Chain A
Amino acid sequence: MAKEHKEKIASLEAFQEKIDRDEKIEPKDSMPETYRKTLIRQIGQHAHSEVVGMLPEGNWITRAPTLRRKLSLLAKVQDEAGHGLYLYCAAETLGKSRMEMTQELLSGKAKYSSIFNYPTPTWADIGAIGWLVDGAAIMNQIPLCRCSYGPYARAMIRICKEESFHQRQGYEIMLTLAKGTAEQKEMAQRALNRWWWPSVMMFGPNDANSPNTEKSVKWKIKRYTNDELRQKFVDAIVPQAEKIGLVVPDKDLKWDKKRNNGQGGYAYGEIDWDEFWRVVRGDGPMNNERISAKQKAWNEGSWVRAAAHAHALKKQTALQAAE
């Protein structure tokens, strides 16, 4: 036992040294089981978020106000399906199949970003999602381009390029609304009111309540803590809102020169963690609707997948017979 234990410690140390040298971990390399599990969970959740995220935005494709907006929204939602595909592939390199991950999403066992459990009642919500939700996602994802796990890091490079395009597109929708009629400006402000706090919550619990952060930072899965990323987000978004004349719905928001190691940053109000946990646990405005929509699509598509499988088998058999 003692020998096995020593070997385990030695291999953990060797793994950590590799990480510390900034070498990438590749699919066939040995890795601690917790590292593998953490990544499968994180990449899986990320993939599910892309796929579920298609629903709130897809909700506006048929009603987009102009052809130009319709085309860019279609392209955006299509990008998200593509991100979902890359990410499922990246997670598969760690030994879990897309089918297993899909089943976990549909059964409610796997989580996806809670932000997609909020509704998109107006066109301005499409702008707000691009600006704030994609904005928050980029804050999270840019450091992931340097993640220690090679396939994830490489997938993130392409994803980040597309996400930053989406964010600019979302901000441009908000800018256009803010410059528009009184009704349009009000639509934009209401959407900002709806999406601001859920977006701030996207970074997850405060560092003090985020037990996995320390290990993820040590393994370079994460490069910054939740609170560090949240601060970057608030600092980036507040001036953008001011520039287009929209008001961030936080009465405690003020410049604090002590933040960011004395370089200054925005102090913001208390986050409603009860709401955060309520939505994570399934009691958000759209949790049931999102999962039901995915279940319905999956169930209604089962005959199509069965037919594709049967057809492929027949083709294979015919090919073998011909050989």
Chain B
Amino acid sequence: MKNNSADMVFEGLLRIADDNLILGHRTSEWCGHAPTLEEDLALPNIALDLIGHAQTLYCLACEIDSRYKNEDQLAFLRLEHEYKNLLLVEQENGDFGNTVLRLFYFSTFMKYFWERVKIKCCFKKLKEFSEKAFLETSYHSKYASQWVVTLGDGTDESNLKMSNAIANLEPFLGELFNNDDFTEMCSQNDFLPEPRSIFDSWKNEVEAILQKGNLDFPAIILKKRGGRKGEHSEAFGYLLSDLQYMQRAYPNSSW
């Protein structure tokens, strides 16, 4: 692989890995605090998948850039602006409804993302990984969609809470589908699909599920962005201080 294409693959892997790590981190915060024991089992299980995906992708990134000797160096020892995750995934969990709605948005997006990588990707190892990632994100999307319908349809109170969650997450949806020079280069090189190309499939599915839950599809007018360039929200620093605590407090140790 040529140098510039190595840079492209490294950056591309990092974006997806960071999304998965950070959403996995947020999801894992529910452990022991969920509304039912079944959800106490399901949410850590999903966090396990998400962080597992991040681990695989960081390992692939390390093979490409020899500055990083292992996956933990990427996961734990970068500075805030070096994380390239979406603002959507770093926001605090909010209530259970907000949590499952975000999971539904993200995993439905990733399901179509991996489906496209499965069909076409110049990086063979990622293409192979996409088989498993597609199955797991499809399951996450299904799990979350069931809760979105249940909570939307359930009671007046739960419907209101879900409407609030839709409004709360709306400003972060634009970034999910934002094309930039980088995503265009990835697409031209048959490496990764353009985010915007996923929008129609995503919208059809999300709209149908929201409708089942008597909820309205958001207008997506406000478009906060910055995560992909390393510009994060205030909540992110606190997340990193938890995530990085051990590696920062006890540098150069084996665990």
> Is B136's beta carbon under 8 Å from chain A?
no
Give A293 to B96 CA distance when docked, in angstroms.
16
B253 and A181 contacting across the interface, CB-CB below 8 Å:
yes
For this complex, into which size category does the number of interface residues on chain B fall?
Answer: 35 or more
| In the assembled complex, A123 has its CB within 8 A of some CB on chain B | yes
B55 part of interface (Cβ distance < 8 Å): yes
B54: Cβ under 8 A from any A Cβ: yes
Asked whether, in the complex, the Cβ of B55 is within 8 Å of the Cβ of A74, the reply is no
B55 cross-chain contacts in A, Cβ below 8 A: 67-68, 71
Contact status A82-B41, CB under 8 Å: yes
Judge whether A74 and B37 touch: CB under 8 Å.
no
- A90-126 contacts to B, CB under 8 A, are 98, 123
Whether B155 and A303, one on each chain, are in contact in the complex, defined by CB atoms closer than 8 angstroms, is: yes
Q: Is the CB of A78 within 8 A of B254?
A: no
**Chain A interfacial residues counted at CB < 8 A:** 50
From B32, B38, B95, contact of A58 by CB (8 A): B32
B153, A314: Cβ atoms closer than 8 Å: yes
Contact A184 to B158, CB < 8 A, known contacts A62-B28, A81-B40:
no
**Is A176 interfacial (CB 8 A cutoff)?**
yes
Of the candidate stretches B7-15, B84-92, B120-128, B240-248, the one touching chain A is B240-248
Q: A102 to nearest B CB, angstroms? A: 8
Interface assignment of B16: CB less than 8 Å from any CB of chain A: no
How distant is the Cα of A98 from the Cα of B255 in the complex, in angstroms?
Answer: 39
Q: Identify the closest chain A residue to B33 (Cβ).
A: A297
Minimum distance in angstroms from B44 CB to a CB of chain A: 4
CA distance A311 to B149 in the complex (A): 9
Nearest Cβ on chain A to B58's Cβ, whole angstroms: 7
Chain B CB within 8 A of A211 CB:
no
Query: A55-B32, A303-B158, A306-B155 given as contacts; is B44 within 8 A of A81 (CB)?
Result: yes
Cβ of A300 < 8 Å from any Cβ of B? Answer: yes
For chain B, residues 167 to 212, give those with C-beta under 8 angstroms from any C-beta of chain A: none
Asked if A304 and B246 make an inter-chain contact with CB atoms under 8 angstroms apart, the answer reads no
> Considering only CB atoms, which chain B residue lies closest to A75 in the complex?
B48
Chain A 294-311 residues near chain B, CB threshold 8 A: 296-298, 300-311
Give every chain B residue within 8 A of A304 (Cβ-Cβ).
35-36, 96-97, 151, 158
Q: Are B71 and A303 in contact (CB under 8 A)?
A: no
**Is A69 at the interface (CB under 8 A from chain B)?**
yes
> Contacts A85-B41, A176-B255; is A306 near B243 (CB within 8 Å)?
no
Query: Does B29 reach chain A (CB closer than 8 Å)?
Result: yes
Q: Verify B36–A123 contact, CB threshold 8 A.
A: no
Chain A residues in 8 Å Cβ range of B38:
85
What is the interface of chain B, defined by CB distance below 8 A to chain A? 25, 28-29, 31-41, 44-45, 47-48, 51-52, 54-55, 58, 71-72, 75-76, 95-97, 149-151, 153-155, 157-158, 161, 242-243, 245-247, 250, 253-255
Apart from the given pairs A62-B29, A74-B28, A77-B31, 6 other A-B contacts in the complex at a CB distance below 8 Å = A51-B32, A68-B55, A70-B28, A304-B36, A305-B36, A310-B154
Instruction: Give 5 nearest A-B pairs by CB, closest first.
Output: A301-B35, A307-B154, A307-B158, A65-B246, A304-B35
